Structure 1
Amino acid sequence: MKTLIKNAVAVNEFRKFETDILIENEIIAKIDKNISATDCTVIDAGGKYLFPGAIDDQVHFREPGLTHKATIETESRAAIAGGITSFIEMPNTSPQTTTIEKLEEKFGIAANTSSANYSFMFGGTNDNLEEILRVDPKSCAGLKLFLGSSTGNMLVDDEKVLENIFSNTDLLISAHCEDETTIKHNLEKYKAAYGDDIPIKYHPAIRSEEACYLSSSRAVALAEKTGARLHVFHLSTAKETGLFRNDIPLRKKKITAEVCIHHLWFCDDDYDRKGTFIKWNPAVKTPADRKGLWQALLDDRIDVIATDHAPHTLKEKQNIYTQAPSGGPLVQHAMVAMLEACNKGKISLEKMVEKMSHNPAILFRIKQRGFIREGYFADLVLADLNSPQTVSRDNVLYKCGWSPFEGTTFQSAITHTFVNGNLAYNNGKFSAYRNVKRLEFNR
């Protein structure tokens, strides 16, 4: 395969510049103005912006075992339609990904069905340290620990086990941080008042700032004590951002943090309108928390933007509070949501690319991805910043068939997505040919 992208405005490594890009087979062969080449497909990108493909470090694609909600095939197609060319998927499937055997089974499913590059987190439990120590850090994204309960009931709540894991593994440890004791106490209080049909507006009071900060601060303290490599998923409070540093380069950080699209977009004012469709763990909280997250993202205390894409069926989400699961689908609209924020002056295009493409590659030490560089894999995205689209159930690609962004009009659209040089998505159409790879890590 040989493709020449002409007249693009590339956004890469903190600058914007007009350029052509020559792709030969899977690799970016040349970046220059006025490239001439023969025997190749030419795409005129005049007026469009070119980004390195986004790397989403936290998704739940529900396979195996929960495929009535989603599959690796369906959600990876939605991901590339949204400009995400690589994903890291979580272990709380059924069965859970807590043995090497189950991990490799998921790699096999992705190799056969995924439309995007892939890796998986290995799941930690209270009793699988021996298996954790068998995981190869060069071929697996890292270790996921649930320090607060979520879909799949993989809570790790034994302090001695936690310290043992932190002290003994070389894997990057990613943590969901919410204090279970605090949450249970809060839930009992609201159940006493309302029964099971608790008004959704109390979700951030149940899964509170205190619950988040207690857990994340303990995790950070444990990482500092043991020297473990810790990455805290989906910060949701302004208070938590004070736990993280911005005075050293990302490559030297041992403790890093992520924020998700929904915590940057929604706040507790939206519960009346969106109900359980914006029920996430951790909860969407106050406008002040949202403002604090934005500030920490822009000043580099928060290192990456992800989705925590976690679909559930419409029927499941329409249950009363205690029966409605937390999570929602986001991969198709993550990049256009951030482009909307760029359009409103909240973040620059260069900063968006840093947080969605460059930094995940640096943080996880992913080989040859996350940047527009000669010799790197051609994971590339073209976007039209003046192509309004309104999200509706007719145009969502998720298997669950809905989006928390329904009714939202975004000013931008993803038009082309290349995965390892293959034009996998082109103006609403998917290539019948897949050329995807298991992510590799420089560790």
Structure 2
Amino acid sequence: MSSFLIKNALIINEGKKFAGSVLVKNQLIEEIYTSAPEVTDKNWTVIDAAGRLLIPGVIDDQVHFRDPGMPQKGDLYTESRAAVAGGTTSFMDMPNVKPQTVTQELLTERYKLGSEKSLANYSFYMGATNTNLEEILKTNPKSVCGIKIFMGSSTGNMLVDDIDTLSQIFEKSPMLIATHCEDTPTIDKNQAEYQKKFGDDIPMEYHGVIRSAEACYKSSSKAIELAKKYNTRLHILHLSSAMEMDLFDNSIPAKDKRITSEVCVHHLWFDDKDYLTKKSRIRWNPAIKTKKDQDALWEALLDDRLDVVATDHAPHTPEEKDGNYMQAAGGGPLVQHSLIAMMEQARRGKISMEKVVEKMCHTPAEIFQVEKRGFIRKGYYADLVLLKEDDWTATNANSLYKCGWTPFDGEKFQYKVDKTFVNGHLAYDNGVFDDSTKGMRLSFER
């Protein structure tokens, strides 16, 4: 593998922004310099990064790459390439594929797919059901990111709504539990009321009223109650409401918390007024809600009640997304644009670049205890991203998702990913991929 000297970059890492250079050798960060060092080895490939930002690779703790079983939406090859092009070097993929990842045998098969197809580093959650506790307890905390529980509406048998089962999983889980929290009876009741009024053609702007803040709070508070009762390591995904923010703590560092939290890029970018123009293209579960909810999410992110920014990347074909309220699928593709969107928010003054790196790179590594990733540190894997200033417009045509569209269609950005290194391999270089070296399975220091 080539050695790279990335020199003259503006490095953003561990709360600091400084001019420096990084030497990459044998998959790892060999050295970090505060100046441009003399080139002492003719085998080094020198990259002059003057005018560019250098950050650790993004770790996305929640994606749905749809592999196996849903090739029309996406797969590990296409979506991992889109991720790397967007500066995401590691991802944690959800179990609601076909077949659902609810046995150790199926989990092993998914890791085999990852090793064959993924350009980024990968991990896969073990899925929980009302009936697979024995399989859950076999999961290895050192080689699997977590247990995923759908405590809200889901497909097939992945909705875990039996309180005895939930209690046993929370009590006995050998590792981190990640939850989707929405109260299904509340959602069903709300939906029935609006169907009575509008039929199946419910205006899309009512999505956040149907999948309401109350539905989210009821489920999130139940998960936290169980976690506190059993001292479970709990991570609540894609929080979306102001009401839920009072459930979380910022009195200790994220790495020391037993209960942590995630917000997604779309809940920070869009609010319910955007349904009028974007319609079903911004239909997610949990729903995008009001500007008041969005403002509360930003406040909690900046004061560290919210710990992680991720995507919930969930591609659907245009045909699956478009249609009336009862037909349109929930979810959308985001991994190519998540880092760029957050850097745009930094440019607009909503958040600092240092905070973006903390929430998208450092903290996911810390709370999942990912081994030797998430920071620019000597001896860590060289998962690195170079960003350049470049005015450009995201369109469906220049998106790399297999589904062929982006909710950011027409959005103007001021930063672009120039190069992405995955384990020291230059996987993406100004629009050109090198698929010759695949990503690695993540390991965890637990």
1:295 aligns with 2:299: yes
Equivalent residue for 2:394? 391
The RMSD of aligned alpha carbons is 0.8
SS at match of 1:231: strand
When normalised by structure 2's length, the TM-score is 0.98
Q: Does structure 2 conserve the Cα–Cα contact (< 8 Å) formed by 1:21 and 1:35?
A: no
Aligned partners of 1:181, 1:436: CA distance in 2, in Å? 41
1:171 aligns with 2:175: yes
Equivalent residue for 1:23? 24
> Which runs of at least 4 in structure 1 moved beyond 4 Å after TM superposition?
none
Amino acid at match of 1:229: R
1:82 aligns with 2:89: no
- Match for residue 121 of structure 1 among 116, 122, 125: 125
Amino acid at match of 2:121: N
1:313 aligns with 2:317: yes
1:427 aligns with 2:425: no
Equivalent residue for 2:37? 35
1:367 aligns with 2:367: no
Equivalent residue for 2:265? 261
Q: Does structure 2 conserve the Cα–Cα contact (< 8 Å) formed by 1:54 and 1:370?
A: yes
Range that drifts further, 34-43 or 7-16: 34-43
- Match for residue 347 of structure 2 among 343, 350, 357: 343
Aligned partners of 1:190, 1:421: CA distance in 2, in Å? 53
Q: Does structure 2 conserve the Cα–Cα contact (< 8 Å) formed by 1:94 and 1:152?
A: no
Which runs of structure 2 are paired with 1:49-128 in the superposition (5 Å)? 49-128=53-132
Q: Does structure 2 conserve the Cα–Cα contact (< 8 Å) formed by 1:57 and 1:360?
A: yes
Q: Once the two structures are superposed, what CA deviation does each residue of 1:345-390 show, in whole Å capped at 9, x if it has no partner?
A: 1100110000000000000000000000000000000001x20110
Q: CA deviation at 1:193?
A: 1.1
Aligned partners of 1:92, 1:34: CA distance in 2, in Å? 47
Aligned partners of 1:202, 1:231: CA distance in 2, in Å? 28
Amino acid at match of 1:338: M
SS at match of 2:320: helix
Q: Unaligned regions of 5+ residues in structure 2, if any? A: none
Q: CA deviation at 1:36?
A: 2.4
Aligned partners of 1:422, 1:363: CA distance in 2, in Å? 26
Range that drifts further, 195-204 or 31-40: 31-40
Q: Does structure 2 conserve the Cα–Cα contact (< 8 Å) formed by 1:170 and 1:228?
A: no
Amino acid at match of 1:26: Q
Aligned partners of 1:436, 1:367: CA distance in 2, in Å? 14
Aligned partners of 2:44, 2:258: CA distance in 1, in Å? 44
Q: Does structure 2 conserve the Cα–Cα contact (< 8 Å) formed by 1:90 and 1:121?
A: yes
Pair 1:241–1:368, CA change in 2 (3 A): same
Aligned partners of 2:197, 2:36: CA distance in 1, in Å? 69
Q: CA deviation at 1:154?
A: 1.3
Q: Once the two structures are superposed, what CA deviation does each residue of 1:186-219 show, in whole Å capped at 9, x if it has no partner?
A: 0110111111111111101110010000000111
Q: CA deviation at 1:153?
A: 5.1
- Match for residue 384 of structure 2 among 380, 396, 399: 380
- Match for residue 325 of structure 1 among 325, 329, 343: 329
Q: CA deviation at 1:48?
A: 0.2
Q: Percent identity, aligned pairs only?
A: 55
Q: Does structure 2 conserve the Cα–Cα contact (< 8 Å) formed by 1:420 and 1:435?
A: no
- Match for residue 411 of structure 1 among 399, 414, 418: 414
Q: Does structure 2 conserve the Cα–Cα contact (< 8 Å) formed by 1:244 and 1:302?
A: yes
Q: CA deviation at 1:296?
A: 0.3
Q: Does structure 2 conserve the Cα–Cα contact (< 8 Å) formed by 1:151 and 1:325?
A: no
Which runs of structure 2 are paired with 1:150-299 in the superposition (5 Å)? 150-151=154-155, 154-299=158-303
Q: Does structure 1 conserve the Cα–Cα contact (< 8 Å) formed by 2:139 and 2:174?
A: no
- Match for residue 47 of structure 1 among 46, 51, 70: 51
Q: Does structure 1 conserve the Cα–Cα contact (< 8 Å) formed by 2:118 and 2:438?
A: no
Q: Does structure 1 conserve the Cα–Cα contact (< 8 Å) formed by 2:11 and 2:19?
A: yes
1:149 aligns with 2:153: yes
Q: Once the two structures are superposed, what CA deviation does each residue of 1:55-104 show, in whole Å capped at 9, x if it has no partner?
A: 00000000111111000100000000000000000000010000001101
SS at match of 1:322: coil
Aligned partners of 2:198, 2:435: CA distance in 1, in Å? 52
Pair 1:181–1:121, CA change in 2 (3 A): same
SS at match of 2:190: helix
SS at match of 1:388: strand
Amino acid at match of 1:11: I
